[in-house]
Structure 1
């Protein structure tokens, strides 16, 4: 049977080379051929297992860590040394993928996957990603239609599958890590400390976790969770927010917007319960407030106690106001207003595709 390859990456070339090698070496491998008759024509389908190349680029030299984000839709990429330091970083906007057909989108994702793997090869490093088993796309009527639309048009899990496939072919190790609290830890610990975007901080945390590093709770954060005056201040902030949202919900006539407000009220109620439990534990347990965490990890407790009370938002982009708390342990210097940040800018995907040099140079972390 004659069949011309469609391009230089056609798997038919690989199959024919495998057959030739088997004939020459007498070392045979299995494959399956299925024949079908369609309108008088016979079609053949060949199935075979691609050979697995030797892994040449491992985490022994560090990793290129990838964090996928839906709002805004982009990839955060961090280069992490084998000793756990952030060497460089970048973000890649993916918004122009949303208007493409499925075939065009797949094509662009394959190109992007090859570029990232080539970057790992250039840096002599493995790739680190989150192990995304199931993605929540939200439900209709939750007031988050824009985010839900993005999640239905772009599937992070499918892109990571493409990335793993390309990495396997090119001999690059891919390390998958548990995604639990990577965003929260990166946001609270490394974003203010290194003055980087929270998504880059999340990618950095993924890289460190892939290399086996553990994340201890900073000493000043531990002290904050035992400061009753601060916890009462945080509780007061949530009570004020609850009053504001209740008034908004009563005035809102749009059902979907009202659902979004009610979802916010539920989150505020959960935060109030957690902070109240913490305050009560300080009275009954002088040695600490660990007993109040219950099933809530310390980082989740810190997220509730810090983000909205200090920054005025549940998911802020700029985390620099937390630096005095993290480094100096001074609560009274923290301002509740967000300060515009210049860290973590994005570049269009088309610029990334031009050449490897267009990927950066990757931004070095601030000193």
Structure 2
């Protein structure tokens, strides 16, 4: 989606006032609709209600609901309280709350606040209605105008002022497409949003972008991208067509956390260019996770520093820019299911290649994009059937629960208590998973052979084979994280060294892994750095 901006020039002051009044009513409908959505109103009943209350057509009312629902879903994705949204901007609102602010500066802030809160109008595009029913571009005596519907069978025409800024300005292509559609009748949809800034009305036009044919495909392998919040960076893994790791690289994103909105956009584009340039150099397609929603913590969870980082985690913005830029350069982009990529990576590939868990997670993403299935290694399968090890792991988890209880009892700080409670809850969950697996093992239950799929393109004959494998990885994580990986003094907070698992993965010797007092020198080092 490309967004272009142009200035609107009205033929009279009366026309301008009609449009500003419509923008004010639409903005009010959007705010009112947002509150009704929080109360659970349906879209159909709210559309008719908004049209009657704010005297707008049903198309405008539906678009106001669309804008309100997008704000609501965005707020929930970021883990914020939707009841505390401030239309017009929280920053401006907090500045206006300051009592000592007065004079011209306060008047300027009040004008800016009013424009952002009341100066909005939006209309979705529609191919069957000449591109857009309410805000439509038309040609009058060879000049481009925007026809604005201000009532039933009543329109205001505003001249479009937008000089081409450079030779490859996308506005030139948009105007040419309008010319062609006007001649042939083959219209294309375009969304238009009006914004009031500094007393002037601007139109923001959004259109679908046409991409060139794909020239870089999966046949030469993939460059897998994994976004990580702590530390905030991109992990890139170059994967060959046969699923092996060729090289890896890390791109830090910490500058994005401290930058303002405009600078953050610029830096995100720079990161996208780095990733796509590397993919073009290696002739690799790009693989990434199909992320819909990432938990960003909640107030009072005991992890304020991590939560603050997650709240500013612009993972979607970075991935979207990489995808758009890749398609512009003919690079294929594959999105995969993110389920258990990190767990599989850190237990299967981090000890095998002596890389950190983020690079290992990126490797799993790349292999999944290439169509490889991740099976539990034979040594791990034997480990999950070793009753002696499982009893040892249970004892270690029970000891950790006791230790966390003692810490909780002796902690006086309320915020630290919440963090300890979160760890205690997670450990109890792992303990429950491991106990259930041990009971199943002792009762003689095992993975039935008939759960194997009869055909790779069909569902399993009975049971859920994929569900069994996911459960096995979950049990493995519970059995190894605390009993093996957290035993050493160098582990503080998140486990990042998975080298102790190498002897388990290769030799199946869990006793040697448990006894090992220090990490392997150079653990987590690169196999081969990408230039």
TM-score of the superposed pair, with normalisation by structure 2:
0.59
Q: CA deviation at 1:28?
A: 6.5
Of structures 1 and 2, the larger Rg is shown by 2
Q: CA deviation at 1:142?
A: 0.7
Distance 2:391 2:253 in 1: 42
Residue 362, structure 1, aligned to residue 521, structure 2: no
The corresponding residue for 2:413 is 254
Q: CA deviation at 1:92?
A: 1.4
The corresponding residue for 2:216 is 57
Distance 1:42 1:222, change over 3 A: closer
Q: Counterparts of 1:70-149 in structure 2 under 5 Å?
A: 70-149=229-308
Determine which of 192, 199, 215 is the counterpart of 2:358. Answer: 199
Q: For residue 68 of structure 1, give the secondary structure of its aligned residue in structure 2.
A: strand
Distance 2:244 2:440 in 1: 37
Contact 2:375 2:469 in 1 (8 A): no
Distance 1:202 1:50 in 2: 31
Distance 2:308 2:173 in 1: 39
Distance 1:26 1:283, change over 3 A: closer
Q: For residue 253 of structure 1, give the secondary structure of its aligned residue in structure 2.
A: coil
Distance 1:8 1:177, change over 3 A: farther
Deviations 1:37-90 (A, max 9, x none): 989977555554322211111112111000010111111000011111111101
Residue 273, structure 1, aligned to residue 462, structure 2: no
Contact 2:268 2:317 in 1 (8 A): no
Distance 1:96 1:7, change over 3 A: farther
* Greater Cα offset, 159-168 or 208-217: 159-168
Contact 2:229 2:309 in 1 (8 A): yes
The corresponding residue for 2:14 is none
Distance 1:97 1:46, change over 3 A: closer
Determine which of 312, 315, 325 is the counterpart of 1:153. Answer: 312
Q: Counterparts of 1:17-36 in structure 2 under 5 Å?
A: 30=188
Q: CA deviation at 1:337?
A: 4.6
Residue 220, structure 1, aligned to residue 379, structure 2: yes
Q: CA deviation at 1:321?
A: 0.6
Distance 1:339 1:116 in 2: 32
Q: CA deviation at 1:295?
A: 9.8
* Greater Cα offset, 191-200 or 48-57: 48-57
Contact 2:352 2:502 in 1 (8 A): yes
The corresponding residue for 1:356 is none
Distance 1:118 1:234, change over 3 A: same
Determine which of 493, 497, 501 is the counterpart of 1:318. Answer: 497
Determine which of 389, 411, 414 is the counterpart of 1:230. Answer: 389
Gaps of 5+ in 2: 1-142, 144-160, 452-462
**Matched residues, number:** 347
Contact 2:296 2:310 in 1 (8 A): yes
The corresponding residue for 1:308 is 482
Deviations 1:287-322 (A, max 9, x none): 56999x989611111000011110116841110110
| Structure with greater contact order relative to length (CA < 8 Å, sep ≥ 6) | 1
Q: Counterparts of 1:285-364 in structure 2 under 5 Å?
A: 285=444, 297-312=471-486, 315-335=494-514, 337=517, 339=519, 342=522, 362=530
Q: For residue 333 of structure 1, give the secondary structure of its aligned residue in structure 2.
A: helix
Determine which of 173, 178, 200 is the counterpart of 2:337. Answer: 178
* Greater Cα offset, 279-288 or 328-337: 279-288
Q: CA deviation at 1:170?
A: 1.5
Q: For residue 297 of structure 1, give the secondary structure of its aligned residue in structure 2.
A: helix
Q: CA deviation at 1:30?
A: 3.6
Distance 1:46 1:130, change over 3 A: closer
Distance 1:318 1:190 in 2: 12
Residue 69, structure 1, aligned to residue 232, structure 2: no
Distance 2:371 2:409 in 1: 49
Contact 2:394 2:431 in 1 (8 A): yes
Q: CA deviation at 1:279?
A: 2.3
Contact 1:187 1:202 in 2 (8 A): yes
Distance 2:195 2:239 in 1: 54
The corresponding residue for 1:242 is 401
Contact 2:499 2:520 in 1 (8 A): no
Distance 1:8 1:345 in 2: 47
Contact 2:237 2:245 in 1 (8 A): yes
Taking only aligned residues, the RMSD between alpha carbons, in angstroms, comes to: 3.2
Distance 2:200 2:309 in 1: 43
